[in-house]
Amino acid sequence: MDVTPSTSHWGAFSAGLDAEGRLRVNPHPSDPSPSPLLGNLPGSLRHPTRVAAPAIRRGWLERGPGPDQARGHDEFVEVEWDEALDLLAAELRRVRDAHGNEAIFGGSYGWASAGRFHHAQSQLHRFLNAFGGFTSSRNTYSTGTSAVLLPHVVGSADEVLRKASSWPTIVANTELLVAFGGVPEKNVFVTPGGVTRHHTPGFLGRLGERGVPVALISPLRADLPAGLHARWYPIRPATDTALMLALAHTLAAECLHDPDFLDRYCVGYDEFERYLFGAADGVVKDAEWASAITELPAADIVALARRMASSRTFITVTWSLQRIEHGEQPVWAAIALAAMLGQIGLPGGGFGHGYGSMGEIGDTGPDLRVPFLPRRANPVRQFIPVARIADLLLNPGEQYDYDGARRTYPDIRLVYWAGGNPFHHHQDLNRLRSAFTRPDTVVVQDPFWTATARHADFVLPATVPLEREDFGSGRRDTHLIAMHRVAEPYGRARDDYAILSGLAERLGIGQRFTEGRTPRDWLEHLYGEWRQSLLSRGVEVPAFAEFWSAGEYRLPAQNADRTLFAEFRRDPVRHRLRTPSGKIEITSEHVRSFGYADCPGHPVWLEPREWLGGARATRFPLHLIANQPSTRLHSQLDGGAVSQAGKVAGREAIRIHPADAAARGIAEGDLVRVFNERGACLAGALLTTDSRSGVVQLPTGAWFDPLGSLCVHGNPNVLTADVPSSRLSQGCTGQHVLVEIERYAEKPPVLTIGSPPMITREHPPNPDGTHARG
C-alpha cells in the first residue's frame, strides 16, 4: 500500500488506500503524542452522509427565491453542475443588483480544512470580494469576548492569545499554577491549520514530575489531566469572577500586593481597590462574601491568596470562562489579580489565557506565517460579531451596540456558507432554524449533509482534504506538510476552488478570482513567494519540487518566549502597550465611556441569568456545561469511529453525578431527556464523581437531529440561550445553561442524521408540466 503525507487540525499523518479501498492512517513518526482523533478519518471518505451531487431544495426550484418555512424540512433534487451553477450565478446577480452586496452574507468558518490554499473561508471570501463584497462576521465563537476586551486592557488580543509564555518556561519557573477552568488535555490535540508534534501532553507530564502544585478551579475534575499535583476547588459554575475578587481583596487587605508594580505598569488600581472594599456599592468583596457565591470555604480562599503571594504564581484562564454571560469579567479580573501579585512579565509568573484550550498555547514551535491564499479587500464595510447570526437574519434594520459603536443589522437576502456548521456553533438552535427561514436563498458548500446543509436551498458537494492537493501548517507548528491527494473525489464532488471558479466565470470575474491559475499553479506560486521572503532573510528553503517530493519542510526555530509582557516589564516606555495609557488598564476610562451596565470600567461581579444561585434554578436545578468534546473537533466527523465509540445508546453522553442521577431514578446507560423552556435533547447517561453535584456535562458537536423542538441526538445548543456576553463584545455565551433531566421511558426516536435527507433525481414538474428554473 502506497502512503502519502497529509495533515489535519488534529495532527500530521500519512495515509493510503489498501487493496479493498479502505483508508489507512498513521500518525507522523515524530509526533510524541498523536491525537486519537485521527481515528475518525478512515470512515469519512465514503461515509453515507457525503454529498454526492449538486442538490437544490424542491421548494426553491418550484417557487424560486424567498423566505420559506419549508427550509429544513423539504426534499432536495439532484441536478447537474452546469444547471446548479447557472441558477446560483443568476441568483447572486439578482440579489446584488436588487439589494446591493451588503445583502449577501458570507458565513464561512475556518475549520473546513487544514490546507492553506483549499481553506474554504479564504476561497469563499476571495470570491465574494471579487464579486463586489459581502457582509462579513468578526471574531470567533471561541474567543469572541476576549478578542474585544483584551485590546482595551493590555493593548492586544493576539499577543495574549498567540504569543503566550511557553510551557518549558512555566515548567522551569512556576511554583504555583492557578488554573481557572483547568488545563483540559483533550483540547490540546487540536490546532488550526495542523500540528506535527503534540508537545503539550509531555510538558504537562514534566510539570507533574517536578511536583509543581496546581490549583484546579473548576466544577469538573477532568479539566486537569491525572498525574499533576493538584488540589481541586470545585467552584460553583459561572462564579470565577467572585473568587478572583475575593483573592484580590485578601491581597490588598493583608498588604500582600505589589504597589510598585501597580504604580509603574498599571492604571486604575486605586478605583478597583475601592470597589473591592465596598466603596462603590457597600459590599466588601472579601472571602466570606465570595464563599456564599462560589460555595468554596472562605478559609480556603484566604489560604490560596496567601500562597499565591508567597510563590512564583502563574494564573491561567481557559477560553471557556469567557464563553458565558459577562464573560469579560473573569478575564479582566484575572489580569488585575496577576497585576496585584506584581509578577506579570517574570518567567513562570503572571497571566495566561487559553492554556488547555488549544494546542498552540504555550507551545515552542516557530511563530511563522506559512503560505496562504490572499482574499483581497472587502469593499463592503458591514459586519456582525460572529455570534449574532440569528439576530442578523431575524432583525434586519435593528440597532445594537458593539465595542463602543452603534450598529445596524443589514437586510440579508442570500447566505453563502462554505466549510462551516452554525448548527454546531450557535445557541438556541430552534431560534436559529427560524432565522434560516428568512433569507431568499441559502447556499451551503460542504462535503457532508450537515444540519446546515439540510437547511439550505443549494447544496454543492465539496471534496475533503484527502481528495485534493494542498499544504498545511498550524500556528506554532514545526513543519509545513505537503498534503498529497490520496483518493478520488466522492461522487461528483468538486473542490471549493473549482466550484467558485465556475461561478466566477459565469459572473464575469473569472480572471479576477483565479488569476489564470490551476490549484497546482497556486500551490507553486504561493510557496514560491513565501520561499523568496525567507531566502531574503537568510533562511534556506527548498524549491517547491523538492518540498513536494520530501512531503514536509522543517520550519526554522524561533525564540518561543519573546512575550508582550516580558518586553513591557523590561522597558514600559519603549515597549508601551497599545492602550490609551500605554499600561495595563485595571480601570479603563475608554470602556467606561461606553456606558455599558453589563461591562463597566473595571472588573466587577455581575450575577448571570444562568447560574445555580439565581431564581431560575428553582425550575431548572442542574447547571449544564456544554464544553468541547474529546472525541472529535467541534462537530467534524461526528460519524467517525472515535466519535461514535463515545456515544451511549447512540446518543451523545451526558455526565451526571451519582447523587443527582439517583434523585431522578437514572442509572448508567439510561436514555435521558435534558430540557428547559427553550428546547430539549436526548442523551445517554454516564455517572461520574468527577463533577460536583448539581453540575452535568454534555459536550457540543453532536449533529443536530431535530424532531420538533427536541434534538434526538444530544446537541446541547437546543438548550443554550442566544444572548450576548455583553454589549461590549456581543460574544458567545454557549458554555453554560440551566436544565432539568428526566429518564426517557418512551421508545427512542429514530436517528436520521446518519443518512442523507430525502433526495429525488428528477425535476419536480410545474402544474403546466414544465420544469421550474427558479
- 596 flagged as catalytic: no
Q: Pull the grid cell for residue 720.
A: 443554550
> How many alpha carbons lie under 13 Å from residue 124 in its C-beta half-sphere?
26
Residue 214 sits at φ, ψ, to 5 deg, of: -125, 130
CA distance 504 to 522: 17
CA distance 452 to 443: 9
Q: Are 579 and 150 in contact (CB under 8 A)?
A: no
Query: What are the CA-CA distances from residue 64 to residues 57, 68, 382, 435 (Å)?
Result: 10, 10, 27, 19
Q: What is the DSSP string of 370-424?
A: PP-------S---EEEGGGHHHHHH-TT-EEEETTEEEE-----EEEEES--HHH
Q: Which residues contact 712 (CB under 8 A, 6 or more apart)?
A: 651, 681, 682, 705, 706, 748, 749, 750, 751
Q: Single out the residue of 156, 219, 239, 222 nearest to residue 187, CA to CA.
A: 222
Q: At what angle do helices 298-309 and 287-294 cross, to 10 degrees?
A: 120
CB-count exposure of residue 443 (10 Å: 0-12, 13-18, 19+):
buried
CA distance 509 to 502: 10
Alpha helices by DSSP H, listed for 100-145, are 120-130
Region label for 489, one of left (φ > 0), alpha (ψ between -120 and 50) or beta (otherwise): beta
**H or E segment and range at residue 269:** helix 269-276
Amino acid letter for position 407: R
Residue with cell 472515535: 642
Q: Which residues contact 595 (CB under 8 A, 6 or more apart)?
A: none
Q: Which residues contact 634 (CB under 8 A, 6 or more apart)?
A: 111, 421, 424, 425, 628, 700, 701
Q: What is the 3-state secondary structure (H, E, C) of 178-234?
A: EEECCCCHHHHHCCCCCCCCCCHHHHHHHHHHHCCEEEEECCEHHHCCCCCEEEEEC
Sign of CA dihedral 421, 426, 427, 429: negative
Among the options 10, 60, 109, 553, which is catalytic? 109
Region label for 712, one of left (φ > 0), alpha (ψ between -120 and 50) or beta (otherwise): alpha
Residue with cell 466522492: 490
CB-count exposure of residue 768 (10 Å: 0-12, 13-18, 19+):
exposed
Length of the chain as a residue count: 774
Question: β-strand 23-27 against 11-17: which pairing, if any?
Answer: antiparallel
Q: Pull the grid cell for residue 334.
A: 484575572
Sign of CA dihedral 512, 515, 517, 523: negative
Q: What is the DSSP string of 564-618?
A: HHHHHHH-TTTT--SSTTSSEESS-HHHHHTT-TTS-SS------SSSTTSGGGG
CA distance 154 to 580: 10
- 109 flagged as catalytic: yes
Buried b (16+ CB within 10 A) or exposed e, 386-410: bbbbbbbbbbeeeebbbbeeebebb
Among the options 10, 60, 81, 111, which is catalytic? 111
Q: Single out the residue of 148, 134, 141 nearest to residue 376, CA to CA.
A: 134
Q: Are 276 and 586 in contact (CB under 8 A)?
A: no
Q: Single out the residue of 655, 680, 643 nearest to residue 754, CA to CA.
A: 643
How many CB atoms lie under 10 A from the CB of residue 595?
12
CA distance 200 to 194: 15
- Catalytic residues, by residue number, are 109, 111
